[in-house]
Amino acid sequence: MYQHHVFKKTVPDSVSATGEKLKAIWGKAKLTTKTDANIRKNIKNLFEEYQALKKDRNRITDGAELKRKIWKGDLEDLFDISSADVLERRDILDEDKSFLISQREDGSSSSIAGVDVAEVAKEKKKKEAAKKLENRKLKQEAETERLLEKVPYLRSGLSSSSTTSSEDEDGDFKAPATKLPRRAPTKQLS
């Protein structure tokens, strides 16, 4: 409503902007939220209820008065965009779950003060550990590639190059040291 009336945005644009701001606020609590489409639908329904009440603002009937009181009471409740299974999920901290429950019961009893320093430190450690693991994997892959490289070997009989160049190439080549002892030559019977 604010985006629509003050900034003169269209209803869909104001609904989207409000939804983005809501998700940013709920993101501070680290709670999973509904999908963007469902959030926009809830905001639009609230706006349409407001428009309907605005049309009937001059009615003095008991029903109209009751609708206005109910709507005002609902505005003071939490505009809940958390996902339906947020309290059953294991990846959500108990502290965040208790915060949500307290907000649903009485919104004025608690508030989001800022960033949870302990949670940020945990996330930073997890990211650093994941980065170190990735670096170790890359180093291991590079080492494996280096060890598995094939050494080019040119045979002098198949090559048409001069003997001096093949001698130079053979002079640079060193066979890898073997760890197994050499076998003694076998004696042949004549």
**pLDDT values of the chain reduced to their tens digit, one per residue, 190 residues:** 666 666 677 888 888 888 888 788 777 777 777 888 888 888 888 888 888 888 877 888 888 888 888 877 777 665 777 777 777 777 777 777 777 777 777 655 555 556 667 777 888 899 999 999 999 999 999 888 888 876 555 555 444 444 455 555 555 667 666 666 667 777 777 6
Contact 96, 30 (CB under 8 A): yes
How many Å apart are CA 144 and CA 142, to the nearest integer?
5
pTM of the model: 0.46
The pLDDT value recorded for residue 175 is 67
How many Å apart are CA 47 and CA 4, to the nearest integer?
10
Q: What would you report as the CA-atom Rg of the chain, rounded to the nearest whole angstrom?
A: 37
Q: How many CB atoms lie within 10 A of CB 174?
A: 6
Phi, psi of 82 (to 5 degrees): -70, 155
DSSP state of 39: H
The pLDDT value recorded for residue 14 is 83
The pLDDT value recorded for residue 1 is 60
The pLDDT value recorded for residue 171 is 59
Contact 1, 75 (CB under 8 A): no
Contact 31, 96 (CB under 8 A): yes
Q: Which residues contact 61 (CB under 8 A, 6 or more apart)?
A: none
How many Å apart are CA 59 and CA 173, to the nearest integer?
101
